[in-house]
Structure 1
């Protein structure tokens, strides 16, 4: 573009940069701006070539049309307006700003003091004004052509009750896989490679939940310490895939990944961070939203708007209560569904999105809007039902249509298998799908996302190998990360050559995994737990972009046994609807012989009574599932029938004789399917009703009923 181009008036919609085949329309919301300049750059984003004032403003949207412009054009904005931090206004035209609707990124953010709207070190702090141009070190946006040949791509649309989620990191999943080409490792193309897809298919998961892939930046303090924001919870661009995850540098790579996962029968769920941005508090950089319209995009302290309300622990809170901010979030979500074909979202610190601007005593309408949206209502929506603000724990309070991470499941199952007293009542509630949390809202077990481990915290291996966190590699004097993890190292801290301890650790991992897969609700696995991946006791590896976080693929015999065991129990869950019911247990008779749909059993073979539940030092429980009288329908409306199952759990260190119940006649029998006391979980044999089965210490057993009730 050698001659100076001329902008036509253009249109206020759609927001962002939209190519129509003849030119590009630019539209940017800013209620504070007095003038907005569109800045054009060379293809590499290194040299600014033109500054063009957007000629029109309609309803606080600045817009202009650049004829003959084509995809690939690199651009940014400069917003002229008031710089009055004490009034909540922080426009600074000396700072190049990223388009909130940017679909692709060019270059990198190279940290220096020029990225801050004020003079760092000035006695007036953020009340001062920095006039240095930061464009040479700033990330830029690029215009895209959204055309892509999706062919016969179809979303799997796996029912919630059949879903098994695998939480993974795009980079960490393939970085160390020897069969993935080196140039593809750590990228979307690497994830879509045959070795990774084959692993996911063999394991049997139905959905992969990806840690943030929307464009984020590495925190300056991490970069200066030689670290990175590995997890990616530091968003700056809500439409563009993170450049580091694209081996080709093109957004089509993400689409190819989704297409390949769909062909493998696997849904794609994105972990999205709309609760805060990378701009931090009042002392943070001016990269986008802050310089465009600070008071609109962020929640500010009412009587001191220089400061930010922070319910996220990251310095600021995105203001989803503002109509244009809500529009940005909804437009972003629809883009990922319609253009990128993703199948759902997990909302980080979701409560922050529900906080109304004027009051914190009620939940705002954010999720009610999502579940009424014709595009978003058809995908999976998952809330992390808490934030760090006052009253921020809202487990069970989200509306129907939205699933929730269930941390009570995590804590109860960990405490039970750790051997804590007084856990039986909570254990029963969690195994049964947490009706105490969700039934009153008219929802079913599948609203609860059951998990034992996630990216934030110990891996499964470390959960049974450490009594203390070991986060020294994060360079915070081991002060970061939670101290309350309900862990038990089985007798030694960290790795050990003690064979007895290693046998117990492997068994405890099998106990936890089997409990998860045989509980009602939706199971979520942490990538690497199937390989007994260790982070050496680091329970907050957010900044560890290295082999500490990357999955190990050079598995030994013990790791292979764990992988085979998990594959086996996922298949068991898939084969038997009794283990993944769509409705809560009623505890009522469902068979002619008055057998209930669920019976909680004492080791003596009788139904648990009130006194049994109150026995604080009890650590053994049985669960009978009446599958032959299952009253549910499948997706085609056909009655579902299954076998009867008996799940026995023993968290005592010693063996417990468990009397198998008689349910039909004295000749009924139970066939063993699984026993975690075996190093591969395998178990065979038939046990007669009324007989005693010796349940080994720290073990779980699954049996099914061979006899038929009369």
Structure 2
């Protein structure tokens, strides 16, 4: 067996065999285990450690498709952070394909119990590189958040065998819907291999979101049965339609969880190096994620594993960019969060990744975990301040006119820090985590009883309202009010400066029956029922999305300053006064913007009028009389008078002739 180099990990195919490598500082011995097609382990081969703690082995004659895993022997002393157990088959952290999904079993966490029959085997694969094109998504565009399985499980036009998979996203009926509402990029919730949390199987529940990964590169066979070829083909088809693809990835924790969890990969290879531990207490795992463990993203091995994983998806499938779950963990060191730390800096400096779209969820639950505005440019950031301020404005909370305007103008209070001259905000009203947009206006409180935790899980403060009845109702007036509220919320979102994000199905009034933590509901609670979506709401979403594309002012990144780019007006048509801004229950606001009309290539003015009150409001449109304004609606344009009426609980749009 001749030695060949394959970096710090993985399996590399050569003409005469396969080179395996895996890193571990503390293991006494690592063995390579090979399996036949009947899942029988037919050999174990000791690996040799080099000076960099990479354990290597070249296997002559081995070919593509071989199935393998590792075993690591050494000291088993969890109180000292050491979890070596040769009875545990371990998945290669660099595995690029697995032969089956992960399934939780209590034996996975019991010392000395053999697990080869429980653990997926990695498959030796040959990379098929693509030439990545420039990302199709540009900051300021429209991101559509998609959970792959729920999005297509009930789609009537998608063949049953294809439903719930990545390939379904390229089906003509799905693409037609994405183009109808003007999606610039879909953001796929995790599609890498994950495992259920250990409390779910006894409840008959399964993790349907994927935020509990084991392998960072390997695609989950349940969602991507065709592997990288399926992802690559889907990305190519979406790109051909002008739609980018962003992957939501989880590097902050793994499904090995706390000390009572499973030993499946990183824990068994070198727990002490790969996870964060309390200072001077190596047996105590840090839990900055709320899921039991925190990955040590500042460790050189993990840093390189993250970089290599991102490169894998760009070079192997042409992915446009990435959204990072609980992203402060990427910048955490023993001293706290470092926005310009080595791992974040390395991601932005990599030659393959430098032009990709990078999006941070800028919070975790650890010390100093709220880092909105503190990620390095060009990172975009999920902006929960905009989410809450827009919700509270339309709920009718006092003193919300100013926060509304700040959100519309690009959140300069957040992103101008450290000399920032442009917004990096991803504005949203609802995401996978929390109420759907319809539930936001239909429930005053969460209803997570189906999750089996007696409604203790999920956020308690949702800034929601129910319009008079909690949950489903047959009262036509309440149904109408809820629909109006959703339409107003959508209108507001799409005229904010920054990128905008909508979760799949919210454009048509999808409900999760008040469940605001539906990660474990892989059923009709989360599956989008296309037959019940409100087509008028979808049409309205398409309308406001088209306005955003037509008028350049909405997608520009610079902050609105009031220096000729925007005028804030009261219903009188006059500029807002200090008194107006400070009125607690001020219910109407006008935003008049100078912009390029991309249809005519002319500079024009567009007026966006907000009325959150319960009665119609008369607005005087600005400009010399007779005013020459046209109202823009989903059904077309119509001439407007100098004084116009904005219906209650609505947003109206006017274009100056």
Q: Same fold (TM over 0.5)?
A: yes
Is the contact between residue 215 and residue 235 of structure 1 (CA under 8 Å) also seen in structure 2?
A: yes
Report what 2:648 is aligned to: 697
Instruction: Give secondary structure in 2 for the equivalent of 1:104.
Output: coil
Tell me the residue number matched to 1:622. Answer: 590
Partner of 1:515: 492
Aligned to 2:4: 10
Cα 1:644/1:539, change in 2 over 3 Å: same
Partner Cα distance (1:98, 1:695) in 2: 60
Q: What residue ranges of structure 2 are gaps of 5+ in the alignment?
A: none
Contact kept in structure 2, 1:577 and 1:642, CA below 8 Å: no
Question: Within 5 A, what are the aligned runs for 1:603-618?
Answer: 603-618=571-586
| Runs (5+) with no aligned partner, structure 1 | 1-6, 119-129, 589-595, 675-680
8 A Cα contact 1:382 1:403, kept in partner: yes
Aligned position for 1:297: 274
Residue 182 of structure 1, aligned match among 150, 157, 160 = 160
- In the other structure, the counterpart of 2:378 is 401
Give the root-mean-square deviation of aligned CA atoms: 1.9
Q: Which residue of 2 aligns with 1:574?
A: 549
Other-structure match for 1:22: 16
Determine the structure 2 residue equivalent to 1:667. Answer: 626
Q: Counterparts of 1:70-109 in structure 2 under 5 Å?
A: 70-109=63-102
In the TM superposition, what is the alpha-carbon distance from 1:167 to its structure 2 partner? 0.1
Contact 2:339 2:375 in 1 (8 A): no
For 1:14 and 1:85, how far apart are their aligned partners in 2? 25
Contact 2:256 2:263 in 1 (8 A): yes
How many residues in Structure 1 have an aligned counterpart in Structure 2? 656
- Superposed counterparts of 1:483-562, under 5 Å: 483-555=460-532, 559-562=534-537
Return the alpha-carbon distance in structure 2 between the equivalents of residues 361 and 378 of structure 1. Answer: 22
Report if aligned partners of 1:11, 1:64 keep a CA contact under 8 Å in 2: no
The residue that corresponds to 1:649 in the other structure is: 610
Contact 1:356 1:363 in 2 (8 A): no
- Contact 1:453 1:525 survives alignment (8 Å): yes
Shift of 1:644: 0.6
The match for 1:125 is none
Q: In the alignment, does 2:430 pair up with 1:453?
A: yes
Alpha-carbon distance between aligned partners in 2 of 1:180 and 1:153, rounded to the nearest angstrom: 28
Name the structure 2 match of 1:465: 442
1:193 maps to: 171
In 2, are the aligned partners of 1:170 and 1:187 still within 8 Å (CA)?
yes
Equivalent-residue separation in structure 2 for 1:32 and 1:347 (angstroms): 29
What pairs up with 1:20-419 in 2 under 5 angstroms? Answer: 20-44=14-38, 46-116=39-109, 118=110, 130-147=111-128, 154-161=133-140, 163-248=141-226, 250-359=227-336, 364-419=341-396
- Bigger relative contact order (CA 8 A; separation at least 6): 2
Quote the Cα distance in structure 2 between the aligned partners of 1:428 and 1:599.
11
Whole-Å separation in 1 of the counterparts to 2:270 and 2:399 = 53
Q: Secondary structure at the match of 2:603?
A: coil
TM-score of the superposed pair, with normalisation by structure 1 = 0.89
> Structure 1 residue 254: deviation in Å?
1.4
- 1:202–1:445 distance in 2 versus 1, CA, 3 Å: farther
* 8 Å contact from structure 1 (residues 189, 247) kept in 2: no
- What secondary structure sits across from 1:76 in the alignment? strand
User: For 1:498-533, what per-residue CA distance to the aligned partner results, in whole angstroms no more than 9, with x for missing partners?
Assistant: 111111111111101011111111110110012211
Aligned counterparts of 1:654 and 1:406: Cα–Cα separation in 2: 31
Give the TM-score of the pair, scaled to structure 2. Answer: 0.96
Residue by residue over 1:668-693, the C-alpha shift from the partner in whole angstroms, topping out at 9 and shown as x without a partner, is: 3211113xxxxxx54743234xx332
Alignment partner, residue 123 of structure 1? none
Q: 2:361 and 2:404 mapped to 1: Cα distance?
A: 21
Q: 1:261 to 1:139 in 2, by over 3 A?
A: same
Q: Is the 8 A contact 1:400 1:441 kept in 2?
A: no
* SS of residue matched to 1:18: strand
